[in-house]
Amino acid sequence: MNKSIIALAVAGALTAPMVAQADATLFGQIRYDITKEDSTDVVSDITRIRFGVKGEETMDNGLTAGYFIRTDAAATDGSVNIHKSTVYVSGDFGKIVMGDGGNPNEGVEDRTEYGLYSGTFVNMDSGFSAGGISFESADYNGLKFGVGVGNVDTSDGTSSNSFGMAVSYDADNWGVTVGAGQSADTPAVAEYTDFVNTDGTNATTAQTHAEVAASEGDSNYGISMSGKVAAFNLGARYSVQKAKGGDDTKGYAVGGSYAVNDKLTLKLQHESTKTSDTSMKMVAFDATYALGGNASVTLAGISYNKNAEVAATPKKDAVKLRYNISF
């Protein structure tokens, strides 16, 4: 739907007139899930309604200016929120991106995310949810690097100051990424009382939650590799979250996919995270069948070890059937 009237209308409503003049592409996604978790009834719901518009234009000086706006809509009440919005300028030097975008170090996770449940245990979590600026280099014969920083506030107890960097190299059938960064600082929380337990469940009596001091964000680093052999895609990752207070968290992930034919793809994912002496693990499998017309159906299952099932936020074995439309 490139240069569609609808896309231009959305762009004009949400961006400056200069941006609306750029070539515009409307995109979106909707998901409908039927899920059965262990010891619970079957539930079905629309888990995602997402749409957006993106475009770019070559300026008189030869540089390219572009924008990306993505929104999430709630199926329950129809509310719409901006989920990601960035503007960028690119050229032979690379690309400068400003706005609510991703941290470059998240590329370490990307090489191992294959299945529907991939990314369940993530250590490289330093997204610029409050806005930021990043630089992505040009491609130097497969070698690329990126650096970025979120909004900066040097006062105590803010939720800013995340940053990250990554270096990647990609050849014809394999690639590697090394990244490091720091998640945002955590603001202080005063003592308060409500009817919610510490595990997030509702309480029958008032619960008093102790004051929590402000803390500096945890640092992280990781390395990942991916490769392709015939119809197989494989990836592996090792990453560490260095806690400013408490125990560090170490994790790894391996995943892969196999294209049976141009319609059916099988995927397998295994992830593990360890803090102190407690290891949480998962294994997941899914099969995705392309229906045509940008639609697909996926049958997926996930199983956790005992430590994950009894964690503060417990995980449950599940089976999911998903119908997905993307455009």
Q: What is the pLDDT of residue 10?
A: 46
Query: Is 67:55 a contact under the CB 8 Å cutoff?
Result: yes
Pairing outcome for strands 143-150 and 80-91 = unpaired
Which residue is associated with the tokens 């202080």? 188
pLDDT of 9 > 50? The answer is: no
- State the Cα–Cα distance between residues 29 and 296, nearest whole angstrom: 11
Higher pLDDT, 118 or 187: 118
The H-assigned helical ranges of 22-113 are 107-110
Residue 179: closest CA among 216, 121, 220, 227: 220
Q: What is the pLDDT of residue 81?
A: 86
Q: What is the pLDDT of residue 221?
A: 93
Note the pLDDT tens digit of each residue in 219-242.
899 999 999 999 999 999 999 988
Confidence band of 123 (pLDDT split at 50, 70, 90): confident
Please classify residue 67 by burial: count the beta carbons closer than 10 Å to its beta carbon, then call 0-12 exposed, 13-18 middle and 19+ buried. buried
Q: What is the pLDDT of residue 307?
A: 94
Q: Could you give the percent of the chain with pLDDT greater than 90?
A: 57
Query: Is 73:47 a contact under the CB 8 Å cutoff?
Result: no
Which residue is associated with the tokens 């191992």? 112
Note the pLDDT tens digit of each residue in 215-225.
777 889 999 99
Cα 168 to chain center, whole Å? 18
Residue ranges and CATH numbers for the domains of the chain are 92-326 (2.40.160.10)
71-75, 151-155, 190-194, 270-274: segment of lowest average pLDDT: 151-155
- Give Rg (Cα) of the chain: 22
- State the Cα–Cα distance between residues 82 and 53, nearest whole angstrom: 12
Q: What is the pLDDT of residue 130?
A: 55
- State the Cα–Cα distance between residues 72 and 154, nearest whole angstrom: 31
Q: What is the pLDDT of residue 103?
A: 84
Higher pLDDT, 100 or 187: 100
Q: What is the pLDDT of residue 18?
A: 45
Q: What is the mean pLDDT of residues 15-25?
A: 60
- Which residues does 134 contact at the CB level (< 8 Å), separation at least 6? 96, 97, 101, 103, 104, 128, 146, 147, 148, 149
Q: What is the mean pLDDT of residues 253-274?
A: 97
Confidence band of 101 (pLDDT split at 50, 70, 90): confident
Residue 322: closest CA among 303, 290, 300, 306: 300
Q: Could you give the percent of the chain with pLDDT greater than 70?
A: 88
Q: What is the mean pLDDT of residues 24-39?
A: 95
Phi, psi of 17 (to 5 degrees): -55, -35
Confidence band of 184 (pLDDT split at 50, 70, 90): confident
Query: Is 29:15 a contact under the CB 8 Å cutoff?
Result: no
Note the pLDDT tens digit of each residue in 32-51.
999 999 989 999 999 999 99
Record the pTM.
0.80
* Residue 35 amino acid letter: T
Tokens linked to 160: 């800013």
pLDDT of 146 > 90? The answer is: yes
- What integer best gives the mean pLDDT of the chain? 86
Note the pLDDT tens digit of each residue in 266-291.
999 999 999 988 999 999 999 999 99
Phi-psi region of 204 (alpha: psi -120 to 50; beta: other; left: phi over 0): alpha
Note the pLDDT tens digit of each residue in 189-205.
777 888 777 766 777 78
Which residue is associated with the tokens 């929590």? 212
Query: Is 173:225 a contact under the CB 8 Å cutoff?
Result: no
Please classify residue 146 by burial: count the beta carbons closer than 10 Å to its beta carbon, then call 0-12 exposed, 13-18 middle and 19+ buried. buried
Instruction: Give the largest CA-CA distance in the chain.
Output: 66
Tokens linked to 159: 């939720």
> How many residues are recorded in the chain?
327
